[in-house]
Structure 1
């Protein structure tokens, strides 16, 4: 097996090198296809020989770990917040305090852009990433190691160096690039979901996702701004430590600058006041730190923040302009979203013509009226929004804006489901924007990804009456004579289109299921449903109650999916797609039955398991005739408990006297030839602290010295999104 281990090690090192060259040096040493082939080869070997997979394998970039509760960890060095100001006068006072504190000694500052993300503490041991912890309350935070491992510009292994401590912490900021944020919000708008306010909130939400595969899809990035170690004295200054972190392979913004006076600091602030809007990352200020570590120790800390650092926050960008019109857009799910049309006005580096009003509640809260002079802000908000009205300039006799009672597209009476903020158009069959948006979703990159049939083209075909449902797309090859008569549809375009339609017939069933646009059925749920039922016919014949029992599928999703499949119109679409050759079932063999030892038994899986993933345990149970459900009831046979099992499930199992067994107990049951016996009650499990229970500190913790607080920058180089 040594040859296999050597092969896995060589592939791992090669892929880490290629990632470093691409994300840190902006160098593509090999074509994407070759990189993907190397990664696929490593994945295949790790599946065959999991015992040889390395802990920080590049394959972890795609995620896949499910965590129901995040454990917490104490920060070895406190993660303090920075004092902040919006005033240049306050900065000059800060400078005077530093001078007095250092007794007149010479000193320099380091200025860094303060980008808007989530503060993160990363521990590297012997050059390997071993832990990622959020700020939390500054004393302890959530351990999100599996999630941060999916961040592609974050090295899992560091480049070796003589000055690299055996163990150290890299503090920094995890953020969502603006293009990724805008794409995410566009998808949410099409799905009729509430828009995310800013990339910071989107990033924070992504890091809290339980499925690391979903975190990987958010394409988060990281910049380091601080170094902490018992051997911190290896570097005399903060600037020297930043250079070292970068040389080891950690991403550090190249926008930071050493400044020898407060005037140079102010010049830096003024330089980036407008320039920051050219960056593909949100920033909201500048962090100023005393550079010398010894001088930082002399200045010390208050109870909440260091005396040697301060953050200057840029005032929120705002503009005053006139509200001309409110347009109501209808999304794929029928949600009606108001958008304000404004007189064009410069704001935060762009010319703003439209602003979000979100929903009817906000229109009422702002008391908006046509012709009002309104205040529009960006600040940390990337999407412009109306924040207020200049009542002194309100036109005489103006009337409040009334949200329409009928759909602006098809005139159907709008409904407002209980508990929802959006009004919706229930005319799923005949509302043009809904029909068009569902077609655009079907051909989108994450669904069928039909080459030659993007959103613009399929929208044009809809307007011409060529397609109204996904099934109509597969009739286009028989309508070639009509296609050739269209403008901008030359022979080559038609060939590409027809080839793309034909290729889409090989797209896997789970992506087809996602492409159908069933409300609440996203990528992950579509994958779970496809894996569980394997064919669309089996899925369509399932009740909402049974659907809700599938892991990761809740009651709301189940009701929505069951209603969709019970609709005759949708069934006709399914039949036509099947007839066209679209994949409406998983290919390959279903997991073969190994025995019937677990027939009649149902299981719930909770926690993180040592030897199997949850999907592997589910497959194992089903191969032996058992069923896996997502909820605990009196009818449940066993709760299989892993590390960090959810406390609510444990309490309910104890209340209902459901036997609790471990992963080892389950495998022992399957390997024992005797008939399964009902356990006396609960199998003894190792005691592990739950996420909401205190975690004891290390036996001999290092002194909790305060640490460099939030800072960092976002230079233009090295930003690969």
Structure 2
């Protein structure tokens, strides 16, 4: 229903939609005004109200008695006494683009029947994102303060408002009416809000999502002493009931309020016409991040008060004022710095450190910059003014840079080539968008994640050692590498500290030790998988274990492979489209002479003569890499001298492993700190069990099997292990090359794929019969 265009709604559908909108908007009003915990952004809330108004405009006879168009907010909490406002505190209509602002100005001029050459003057002022309040003064003395509530009645929060230094108890100066309701906004400055949240978080207390929620929650404390501790401020900008006039224009009224002791916004200004309003809007949008408080738009009010009276009101809003809202998901702010965060898997991610700004109802201080290419593409520099948005209303990101506001001397950002957490080399592999730390098991940023993988069920599977324990032991400095886990099990002092200081019972300590000691003997494939080498998953670990048989043989192969890692130039050449392994061998075997024997030939002819037998696609690919004869000789040198070692080639040649995983093994063993960590670990182990060679004499040897559905006779892990032990390959997806699909109850898409490809489908009983029970 909510997606149906209003023009397409039937009368019955419109009636149902208005009922739904009334209920939903009322719920959001309660969350916002009473609970101080909104669930949707201002833009989403405004869209609901706008849809309601547009349906009512098309079907006026369907307007409900409880219509949101006749209501400002909701009644206040029963924790405070009700206060009736002398003049209702109505809300404003919204404009979301420049054309709507121009329409507003034109409507005002038409209503007043002004001549075409008479400009309308307005006051334009920042729309503070806080909590509206009304202050009642009698004979210059504050006698009552209230929230807006539902616009007609609010909550008596006089004692709380008296704690704000910006609110005078007695009016200063002269000329104030004997009775007046002064209205304005209670808010929290962005720096003060950030400091409060930081202190609250450090003490384990409640924090607030944004300054508006903080201001509302602080002002509506039952105990005014709590409010007094909160850094709240107040801007006065309007008035309600008054015993006598005190100004002729809005701008004069603001001057009067300031003379009586109130703070008025210094960015409030008087301008003429739509273009004057839009100039103020653009300026405030650009300066939004530097104001020191949150704003979500600009309010425009007709300046002459007699014209305001003539214009009057429509429904819940005045005709003489409008709020020009900023785009809800975007804001402009200052980029104060770029920090490099190291993820749990070693990826280096640049994060923009920003001057705090509210976007979509959330205070944003950091935003992702994705990777070094993104920084270069957008030319983001420290000190820039940037446009920020929340992607999908969740992840803040920088959209663009305001180049004409760039400070002099701002330098392009240089992305680090060393890990900021451990100092290890940060490499960026061909085709990868991000750099990654090579520190692995020694990098403090990665250590907990690496250790979680190490003790995981498919690796060492250590009982009683989960993420909580790993974090605690890591923070105490007890576990910094895998070997420390086994050292801990025999460290009486640390175990005693667990009992005495950390509250571990004797049974818990005994179980932890037993879980660790039980894994001093480990299968080779589990050890390889536990090392957390990139690209080496559980299946690849098993293939490598079966290929090399023992830990000693695998480790030796890894070290030998590390000494023969191909150069980046060799890798780029080998991965070039049209360059096959045969082409690389042809290049390596050739020895082109120093001087060009065919100076008048084309490059295609030179390549054909220098490397006989090359096919046309290969010649075209190489011609793009070689500009002259020296380039031809260089290609041959790269192919001959900079390729992988024989051992690296052997690893890559293992069926199911390939060159990418082989290179990952080589790079792991190439790092001295990784070798040291592995040596220390193996010293703590009693034995590494040699891998079992896959059987070749079973009915499923060499077959590819897929398990799907809810297996009832065995677990998925048991089924996989049994199949692999019989020489089968277990896959997670079905293709034409699949031999069997074993389907339990609830099998879905994989079963359908099996039937599509004509793959044999077996029940669990049929599978067991096939493999011999």
The alignment's TM-score, normalised by the length of structure 1, stands at: 0.40
The alignment's TM-score, normalised by the length of structure 2, stands at: 0.37
The structure carrying a bigger helix percent of its residues is 2
Q: Whose RCO is larger (CA < 8 A, sep 6+)?
A: 1
